[in-house]
Amino acid sequence: MVTLGCARNEVDSEELAGRLSADGWQLVDADQDADVVVVNTCGFVESAKQDSVDTVLSAADTGAKVVAVGCMAERYGNELAEHLPEADAVLGFDHYPTLASRLEDVLAGRKVESHAPVDRRTLLPITPVQRPKAAEEVSLPGHGWVGGARPVRRRLDDSPLAPLKLASGCDRRCSFCAIPSFRGAFVSRPAEEVLGEAAWLAEQGVRELFLVSENSTSYGKDLGDVRALERLLPRLAAVPGIDRVRVSYLQPAETRPGLVRAIATTPDVVPYFDLSFQHASETVLRRMRRFGSTDSFLALIEQIRGLAPRAGIRSNVIVGFPGETEEDLAELERFLTEARLDAVGVFGYSDEDGTEAAGFDGKLDADTVAERVSRISALVDEVTAQRAEERVGEEVEVLVGQAESDEEDCLGWAAHQAPEVDGECVVTGGSGLAVGDLVRARVVEAAGVDLVVEPLEVLPRDRT
C-alpha cells in the first residue's frame, strides 16, 4: 500500500488495509515482493498528480500488478486508465467495499472495468443527510455506516500521532477548488463513531489525535448541531490514553467564538489553529468565492491570542490568482506582516480542471506568478522565523516522533506544530527518550521554524 497526499488519504489507506486484511490479503513492506501494489493517489494540484503518475510507473517496474485508487483515480477514472496502461486497474471510491475481489480479478487476469467519474456532489444531498443503507448505493471513504458496520482499520505505521477523520466532502464552492466534485458533499461522521475509533487508536498506542476533514468547521451542520465540534473535543480529550487532540483545516469565516474557546482552553486539546485564509484582499477573496478581509482575519487572530497567547496559527495562501493586482498583493503582505503566523504554505495559482476559476479572465503569466510566489515566500520565511525566535526561553511539550538509540538528539513536535508541515523540535541530549514520549522541554534556539529544545522531564501517559 502506497499513500500519497494528505492525512485524509492516510486514513483511507488504513481503512483499505483493514478491509483487505480481513479478506485474507497480507500487507508486505515496500522492500518485499508483492503480488499487487495499491497506490492511493492524490489529485489536488498538478505536482501531486504527477507524483501519483510517477508512483504508479515506479510500482509497475517492480513486476507486481498495480491498482490505482484515491482522489486522482476517482477524479479521472477511465481517462487515467487510457493514458496510463501501466495501471492494471483504476478504481473509484465505490470500489472500496469490494476491493479484495477486484484485486483477485487483477491477479487472475480478468478485466476490471475502470471507474467512470461522476460529480459526487450529486450523490448525497447537502442537508439534511440521508444515510445510505447499503454498500451498493454509495461508498464514501471514512464513512463507517456504509454496509452497516464500521470498516476495520489497520495502522500502517507506529507513530504516536494518528489522523482521525471527522467527515468527508465539502459544501463550499471555492472557485479554485475541485475537491467537492470528487470528494462529494459534506457528510459528518456521528460523534459516537468518531469516539469509538479514537478509543481503538489509543489501544494501538496513539497519544495524539489529528482531526481531519475537508472543512472541520462544518462538522455537525448536517447533523443539526453547529456546535457539535465544540461538544466533541472535550469527549475526545477524555478518551483514556489520549494526551493531545489537534484540529486541522478551519474555515476562518466559520470559526465561531465558541469553537475558538474550545480549542484554546479545553485541557489536552492543543491550542493550534489551522486556518485556511488563502488571501487577504477582499477583491481576490470574493473572486475565490470566499469571505473575509485583512481586518476580520486579524481580529480572529487577536481573539485566539487573547485566550492562548502562545497558540500555534498556520495557514496557506494562493498568489497569482486571476485578476490579482499589485495592490491586492500588498494587502496580503500587510496581513502576513501583522498576523505573525507560525507557518504558512505559499502556492502559485494554476488552473484546475472543472473549476470556475479556470474560466476567469485576468490570468497572470507564469513568470509573474513565480515572482510573486518568491516574494511572498521570502516574507513568510522572515515572519515565521521571527515568531519561532519569540519562543526561545519558553517551555513546550514535545511528543517524540523519531528517536534512535545511538543518537544524542531526537525529533518531535510541540503543541503549536503539526508534523511534517509546521517545523519540528530537535530535542538535544534525548538519547534516553523513546518514540511516543511526551517531554516537557525548554526552547534554547530557533532555526527558521524549527526549535532546539532541552528536555526537562518525561510526562506520564494520559495525564487526565
Q: How many CB atoms sit inside 10 A of residue 350's CB?
A: 15
| Cell numbers given for 446 | 530557533
Is residue 170 part of an annotated ligand binding site?
A: yes
Q: Which residues contact 229 (CB under 8 A, 6 or more apart)?
A: 166, 216, 217, 219, 220, 247, 259, 262
d(CA 226, CA 218): 7
Is residue 410 part of an annotated ligand binding site?
A: no
Q: Please tell me the total number of residues recorded for the chain in this structure.
A: 464
d(CA 436, CA 417): 16
d(CA 407, CA 395): 23
Is residue 6 part of an annotated ligand binding site?
A: yes
d(CA 37, CA 107): 11
Whether residue 183 contacts residue 168, with contact meaning beta carbons closer than 8 Å, is answered with yes
Whether residue 90 contacts residue 77, with contact meaning beta carbons closer than 8 Å, is answered with yes
Q: Tell me the three state secondary structure of residue 195.
A: helix
DSSP assignment string, 75-100: HHTHHHHHH-TT-SEE--GGGGGGHH
The verdict on whether omega for the bond into residue 128 sits within 30 degrees of 0, i.e. cis, is yes
d(CA 385, CA 371): 21
* Angstrom distances, CA of residue 362 to CA of 284, 319, 324, 348, 349: 12, 13, 8, 15, 12
Which residue in 130, 155, 112 sits closest to 10, CA to CA? 155
Residue 194 is inside which H or E element, if any? Answer: helix 191-203
Whether residue 151 contacts residue 185, with contact meaning beta carbons closer than 8 Å, is answered with no
Q: Which residues contact 273 (CB under 8 A, 6 or more apart)?
A: 247, 250, 255, 260, 263, 304, 311, 312, 313, 314
d(CA 201, CA 212): 15
User: Helix 7-22 vs helix 99-108: angle between axes, to the nearest 10 degrees?
Assistant: 70
d(CA 221, CA 153): 26
Is residue 177 part of an annotated ligand binding site?
A: yes
Give the neighbor-by-neighbor strand order of the sheet with 161-165.
161-165, 208-212, 244-247
Annotated binding site for [4Fe-4S] cluster: 6, 42, 71, 170, 174, 177
From the annotation, which residues make up the binding site? Answer: 6, 42, 71, 170, 174, 177
